[in-house]
Structure 1
Amino acid sequence: MQYQGVLTKMETEFSNPINYYLVFETDFINVNQLLNKTLKISFVKYQCLNCGLDKPIYRQGFCKSCFFDIPQAADWIMRPELSTAHLDKEDRDLEYEKKVQLQPHIVYLANSSNVKVGVTRKSQVPTRWIDQGAHEAIEIVEVPNRYIAGITEVALKSHVADKTNWRKMLKNDIEDENLVHWRERLKDYIPDEAKDYYIANNSETNINFPVLKYPQKPSSLNLLKAKEFEGKLVGIKGQYFIFEDQTVFNIRANEGLVVSIAIN
């Protein structure tokens, strides 16, 4: 059986364990059903997720010209504190920016390799936590726009991490933490603009991933360099494929690549 399509972030379904799906233009693959099967992944060409052209991908699935032009790749995407739609001030496309920025956002704690703080739209809970490979997470505040979420994250980054160690996450070298205690410990550092939005009475969300075997020394696959790779799939965590030989493949980092996937 063989499939071909442009890679985009895997779709997920919150279940025990998480269900993963690769969505191509003409195919829909339940990745969980591929566990313990041998996959051959081959690079075919590029396809920018915006313009659709066969141009080298620069970042986030976009070619270089699109990355520096479209609102989906603006600085406020990665740095929410730079959001300006609440001021009616345009960055690249005010209509798009209002649509995305002026909706409820969550500042959360997630534990994947360590406890970290992050921001996501409310509509992306728990998808964002799944994509990060977090085995537990909890909301801290729910605010009305992206800017307030961003300045809250900046304030809390001085007291808790904001990055995930992907190797530690994939090795499952993790410890369970009491995120309720973490949330209460960080409460005093929430900026004044967000204090009224503090969530005092919630519990952790726990996440279980479909992994048969964790790698002890994960090695990242560079498909552009290798052109093709073959191995037995033994796990899916975050946005990674985990193979029996400890090779791991980050689907999210390879968005915009057209690949063929043969299943044996």
Structure 2
Amino acid sequence: MTYQGVLTKMETEFFSPIQYYLIFKNDFLNMNQLLNKNITIQFVKYQCLNCGLDKPIFRQGFDKQCFYDVAKAGDWIMRPELSTAHLDKEDRDLEYEKKVQLQPHIVYLANSSNVKVGVTRKSQVPTRWIDQGAHEAIEIVEVPNRYLAGITELALKDYVGDKTNWRKMLKNDIEDENLVEWRDRLKQYIPDEAAAYFIESNTETNLEFPVIKYPEKPKSLNIKKEQQYSGKLVGIKGQYLIFEDETVFNIRANEGLVVNIFIN
């Protein structure tokens, strides 16, 4: 079977284990069903997720011009404390920014390679945790807009990490943590503006990923450089495909690339 399409992050369903789907314009693949199968990935061209042109991808699936123009790539995406829609102040497109920023947001703790703090829209729980490869997570604050979530995350970064070590996550070199204790310990550092939104009583969520074999020394596939790769799929975690030879392929980091996928 052969499939062709532009890569976007895999869609997921919260089951045990997580179900993964690679969505193309006219087709989709249930990636869980491809475990233990040989897959060939072949780079075809670029296709910017905004303009659709065959121009080198710069970041987040966009070519350079689109990245600096489109509302979906504003600085507040990566730095939510820069959100200004609650002030009726536009960055690139106020209508879009209000739609995204002025909705409930969650500040959470997730344990993927280590305990980290993060921000996501409430509607993206637990999708965000799945995308990060977290095996456990807990909500600590629910606020009405992205700005409040951003300043809360910024304050907590002084006491807990905010990055995932992708190699450690993929090796499954992790330890279980008591995230309820972490939540309670960090409460005192929540900014006054968000203190009333602290979630007093909840439990952590556990996630199971469809992995047959974890790599000991994961090596990242650069499909643009290699042009083509073949291997047996033995796992999926976060947004990574894991192959038997310990090659790993980050789907999200390759958004905007058109590929052929051959299933042997």
Specify if TM > 0.5. yes
**Partner residue of 1:99?**
99
**SS of aligned partner of 2:21:** strand
CA distance in 1, matches of 2:19, 2:40: 21
CA distance in 2, matches of 1:85, 1:26: 36
Q: Does 1:189 pair with 2:189?
A: yes
Compute the displacement of 1:133 (Å): 0.1
**SS of aligned partner of 2:149:** helix
One-letter code of the match for 1:133? G
**SS of aligned partner of 1:232:** strand
Deviation per CA, 1:12-59: give whole Å up to 9, x if none.
Answer: 000000000000001111000000000000000000000000000000
**Partner residue of 1:47?**
47
CA distance in 2, matches of 1:112, 1:71: 29
Structure 2 unpaired stretches of 5+: none
**Partner residue of 2:235?**
235
**Partner residue of 2:142?**
142
Q: Does 1:22 pair with 2:22?
A: yes
What TM-score do you get using the length of structure 1 for normalisation? 1.00
CA distance in 2, matches of 1:95, 1:235: 40
**Partner residue of 1:90?**
90
Compute the displacement of 1:109 (Å): 0.0
Compute the displacement of 1:249 (Å): 0.1
**Partner residue of 2:218?**
218
Runs of 4+, deviation exceeding 4 Å? none
One-letter code of the match for 2:141? V
CA distance in 2, matches of 1:214, 1:133: 13
**Partner residue of 2:120?**
120
The Cα RMSD (Å) is: 0.3
CA distance in 2, matches of 1:30, 1:223: 21
CA distance in 2, matches of 1:140, 1:50: 34
**SS of aligned partner of 1:48:** coil
Compute the displacement of 1:166 (Å): 0.1
Compute the displacement of 1:181 (Å): 0.1
Compute the displacement of 1:90 (Å): 0.3
Q: How does 1:38-77 map to 2 (within 5 A)?
A: 38-77=38-77
Paired residues in the alignment total 264
**Partner residue of 1:200?**
200
What TM-score do you get using the length of structure 2 for normalisation? 1.00
Deviation per CA, 1:42-82: give whole Å up to 9, x if none.
Answer: 00000000000000000000000100000000100000000
Structure 1 unpaired stretches of 5+: none
CA distance in 2, matches of 1:200, 1:249: 39
One-letter code of the match for 1:176? D
